[in-house]
Structure 1
Amino acid sequence: MTPRTPAVARLHRARWAMTLLFAATTAACLLVLAVIAVRTDGRSRTDELDNGISHRADGLARTLYYDGGVLHLDALPEDDLARSAENLGVLQAPDHTRPQIRYARDSPTALPGQAALDEIWQQVQHDQETILVSADVDGREYQWAAAPIWDNDRIDAAVLVGADPAPSLAAHTRLLHWLATGCTALVLAAAAVGHLLSGRAMRPALRGLEQQEQFLAEAAHELRTPLATLRLVVENGSTTPARAPEALAEAVRLVDRLGRLVTGLLARARVEAGTQDIELTPLRLDQLVEQTVEELPDHSGITLTTEAAIVNGDPELLAQAVRNLVENALRHGGGTPVDVSVTPGRIAVRDHGPGIPAEDRTRVFERRVTGPASTGTGTGLAIVRWVAELHGGTARLSPAPGGGALAELLLPQYANTRAGATRTVPVPSR
């Protein structure tokens, strides 16, 4: 597992902070909505209960009447409002005495106690309209509505209708539980969605950091050898005055090569970042390979065989791919000769070393893959495959006949390519 850099770690911490912020914001909004919903539900349930018993008490009070000072209750048992009432009773206070239970549909014990009845009667007398009160029955609190019954110009009786608020409270409690469960699930879902969205939002930044790290690694890989060679050339020229002109010419050539390398690196970085499109032009692949091999500081053990070949490609990128193939063969071939051949649409580089195990032949093309001396490649072969795919081709490794490894860069042929004679090009030594 690749260790995280400090910049990547900061981005991951920022992602978790955004996730927590998203979840906290969602939780705060849901909490406000839940509080509003709970209060609204509680108030609506209370209003529904009060309106129900008030409606029944008012209706029954209009049904009952006085005739000659006598309260008639004959119609009460048959009334639909009376049958639908949970608790029902009639209070009467003849001669303005304490109210007495004149009628109880179930039993007097289903109505409030005498002290509560006295308070209800006093409030009815005072307000002279239907009132709502809470009173206990056998230790349970009930909601009551008391509607006055008039005898001419005075209140002589009252209809008492009660209801148990427990079922409504139980339904309200269930709503609270559902809201708590639902809000918790929504907060978790919001956190998950926020984490996913923040991850997607940070992908370009992570990709940019990865490309930056890869560019630095590839730049170091590409520039290490020519810089070391340039240092040796300058040191030789400075210590041996007679070789100074030759060293100066060699240094100029190496500086030119470094300039091309830097240009290619920048071009590759821009292409990978999507800020520049690759420009493919027809070029002689055999000549490009010859020039690239000649520029290598140590090519005494390289045999180069070419055939005229034309491809559509970027010369700087293809030169880097060829250079990496040859340098990889020189480095991991164990000092054995390296054969480079060019045919239409194909560059083959063979060494006579120990070869590469079958399980590593695909893995070595991955970036940042390193291993033992026989298989470690760093970024070199990864660049080769990237350049090949950018040109519509591919790169592969296979065992060479008689031992060693065969690395191939396969490219689409140019439409107007004509086969030419094969020639073996001597690589001049320095």
Structure 2
Amino acid sequence: MNGSSADRLRRLRWVLTALFTGMNTVGLVILAWFVLSRDDAQGIAQIDVQLDRVTSAISRQVSFDGTINFSMVNSDELNSSCPQFAIMPGGAPEFQAHLSTKTCVPMDTGVLNGLAADAVRTHGIVTGYQTGSNGDLVRVRVEPLLNPANGRYIGAVVAVADTRPVQEAHTRLVLLVVGGCVLLVAALGVAGHLLSGRSIQPAAAALQQQEVLLAETAHDLRTPVAALRALAETALDNPTQRADLLPRTVRLAVRMGSIIDDLLVRARLAAGVEQLTIQPVWLDQLVTGVVEDTHAEGAQVTVTAAPTKVDADPTLLQRAVGNLLNNAVRYGRRPGEEAIVHITVAGGTVTVADHGPGIDAAAVEDAFDRFSSTGGSSGLGLSIVRWVAQAHGGTLSVYNADEGGAIFELTLPVSAA
């Protein structure tokens, strides 16, 4: 695949966003279609109920006594309300057509009579749509009239209803549903983008940690590898100097191993795979033991410790204190002078002070992500100390002393036991 891993993650986020939005859009379209279809069907059903009420009532009020009698029809309130109706012969024995007094929709009487003829011919109810004289769409219902004396159809009642109110209400609903769907799709797109970002966040964080780890590995190993190669080439070209070069080579290899160990610890802490074994630890005894086990050639290290117990992982805590001590011994000295380091332990805090050139203020603002002292420290060891402090719920602070030198304070939760 083309592009970096970060680019592929960004493309994956957009793909997940599109997939999430597309699936929800399909669901919204189906739901909108169902709602609009039901609304359209209910609108037609409401009109048909009104038309059925008119044709049924008027059919019962038409009397037959040799001639068709409309007297009851004329006195009914339906005769002057909407929907309008007409009683047409429809090809049966001719009689004078009767039209309701209120014209709700202008209709051609020829069209009405043709509808009545269809009902008389088919001996059944006819429903459907027609076009009014003004071009509007109307709904019609035709119910044939049966002469009970001879069982013959003598005409039909044609009821007509204007569909514009129902159509306008349906149109408003369509606009409302479409607008709502558009807004929901937009909201779902934003939500999908945020959710997809959160879903790939662990992978992005792991990738970033991997890239940082690789960059730090290359940065911190470049100098010792080059020095180790130079020592090896010098020893190869000058056999008489091998006795002097071999100890330097061993010390350099030990330093490289320490760097690699620090990198692995940081990677495991960042990935969350390092399992902390929290237990009460006498901090003063642990610090004293680390100082005794550390080879501090060319440095004066003093310890002032008061009994204090903290809750911590002793292995990681030893590494953190060792890194602070090594950093002070290596970089806490002035050119041509012996390193002087003083360690104080009290109240759950380990304070390491040196007499070196101090810490660059810009490095302090970088929050221990990458330290640079005037002595050229890569700062990886201090980064490990910060990770250990955070893993234990503690803090790591640094500042410069007024009389010169750097002061590091590692604070851990005091044990309640």
Name the TM tier (shorter chain).
Answer: 0.7 to 0.9
Structure 2 equivalent of residue 263 of structure 1:
261
Q: Of 163, 179, 182, which residue of structure 1 is paired with 2:180?
A: 182
| SS of equivalent residue, structure 1 residue 33 | helix
Does the 8 A contact of 1:89 with 1:161 survive in 2? yes
Decide whether aligned partners of structure 1 residues 375 and 146 sit closer, same or farther in structure 2, where only a CA change above 3 A counts. Answer: farther
Structure 1 equivalent of residue 340 of structure 2:
339
Decide whether aligned partners of structure 1 residues 174 and 242 sit closer, same or farther in structure 2, where only a CA change above 3 A counts. Answer: same
CA distance in 1, matches of 2:91, 2:252: 125
Q: Residues 258-288 of structure 1: CA distance to partner in whole angstroms, max 9, x if unpaired?
A: 3344334323322321222145776642453
| SS of equivalent residue, structure 1 residue 137 | coil
* Aligned: 1:323 with 2:326: yes
In the TM superposition, residue 74 of structure 1 has moved relative to its aligned partner by 1.9
* Aligned: 1:105 with 2:101: yes
Decide whether aligned partners of structure 1 residues 239 and 103 sit closer, same or farther in structure 2, where only a CA change above 3 A counts. Answer: closer
Q: How does 1:30-429 map to 2 (within 5 A)?
A: 30-67=28-65, 69-79=66-76, 81-82=78-79, 85-92=82-89, 96-97=93-94, 100-106=96-102, 112-133=107-128, 134-151=130-147, 152-279=150-277, 284-289=286-291, 292=294, 294=296, 302-307=299-304, 312-314=314-316, 315-327=318-330, 329=332, 338-344=339-345, 345-353=349-357, 356-357=360-361, 360=362, 362-368=364-370, 379=380, 381-391=382-392, 393-410=394-411
Q: Residues 297-347 of structure 1: CA distance to partner in whole angstroms, max 9, x if unpaired?
A: xx75x54333468884433344334334555556xx788765321222524
Decide whether aligned partners of structure 1 residues 223 and 387 sit closer, same or farther in structure 2, where only a CA change above 3 A counts. Answer: farther
In the TM superposition, residue 128 of structure 1 has moved relative to its aligned partner by 1.9
Decide whether aligned partners of structure 1 residues 366 and 249 sit closer, same or farther in structure 2, where only a CA change above 3 A counts. Answer: closer
Decide whether aligned partners of structure 1 residues 412 and 291 sit closer, same or farther in structure 2, where only a CA change above 3 A counts. Answer: farther
CA distance in 2, matches of 1:412, 1:34: 59
Does the 8 A contact of 2:328 with 2:341 survive in 1? no
Decide whether aligned partners of structure 1 residues 325 and 388 sit closer, same or farther in structure 2, where only a CA change above 3 A counts. Answer: farther
CA distance in 2, matches of 1:106, 1:369: 93
Decide whether aligned partners of structure 1 residues 94 and 13 sit closer, same or farther in structure 2, where only a CA change above 3 A counts. Answer: closer
- Matched to 1:349, the amino acid is A
- Matched to 2:181, the amino acid is C
Decide whether aligned partners of structure 1 residues 10 and 323 sit closer, same or farther in structure 2, where only a CA change above 3 A counts. Answer: farther
Does the 8 A contact of 1:364 with 1:376 survive in 2? no
Q: Which runs of 5+ in 1 are unaligned?
A: 417-430
CA distance in 1, matches of 2:225, 2:382: 21
| SS of equivalent residue, structure 2 residue 56 | helix
CA distance in 2, matches of 1:354, 1:275: 34
Decide whether aligned partners of structure 1 residues 84 and 343 sit closer, same or farther in structure 2, where only a CA change above 3 A counts. Answer: same
In the TM superposition, residue 178 of structure 1 has moved relative to its aligned partner by 1.3
Decide whether aligned partners of structure 1 residues 393 and 322 sit closer, same or farther in structure 2, where only a CA change above 3 A counts. Answer: farther
Two-structure CA RMSD over aligned residues (Å): 3.7
Decide whether aligned partners of structure 1 residues 116 and 249 sit closer, same or farther in structure 2, where only a CA change above 3 A counts. Answer: same
Higher mean displacement: 268-277 or 170-179: 268-277
- Matched to 2:86, the amino acid is G
Structure 2 equivalent of residue 424 of structure 1:
none
Higher mean displacement: 163-172 or 397-406: 397-406
CA distance in 2, matches of 1:16, 1:376: 41
Q: Residues 185-223 of structure 1: CA distance to partner in whole angstroms, max 9, x if unpaired?
A: 221222222222211211110121122123223434543
In the TM superposition, residue 82 of structure 1 has moved relative to its aligned partner by 4.5
- Matched to 2:87, the amino acid is V
CA distance in 1, matches of 2:112, 2:179: 43
Does the 8 A contact of 2:323 with 2:382 survive in 1? no
In the TM superposition, residue 45 of structure 1 has moved relative to its aligned partner by 1.9
Does the 8 A contact of 1:131 with 1:147 survive in 2? yes
CA distance in 1, matches of 2:249, 2:4: 39
TM-score (norm 1): 0.78
Decide whether aligned partners of structure 1 residues 24 and 320 sit closer, same or farther in structure 2, where only a CA change above 3 A counts. Answer: same
| SS of equivalent residue, structure 2 residue 102 | coil
In the TM superposition, residue 352 of structure 1 has moved relative to its aligned partner by 4.8
Q: Which runs of 5+ in 2 are unaligned?
A: none
Higher mean displacement: 202-211 or 376-385: 376-385
Structure 1 equivalent of residue 18 of structure 2:
20
CA distance in 2, matches of 1:53, 1:376: 93
TM-score (norm 2): 0.80
- Matched to 1:105, the amino acid is T
In the TM superposition, residue 62 of structure 1 has moved relative to its aligned partner by 1.7
Q: Residues 361-401 of structure 1: CA distance to partner in whole angstroms, max 9, x if unpaired?
A: 7523242577x969996655433322333455432222312
Q: Aligned pair count?
A: 399
Does the 8 A contact of 2:92 with 2:120 survive in 1? no
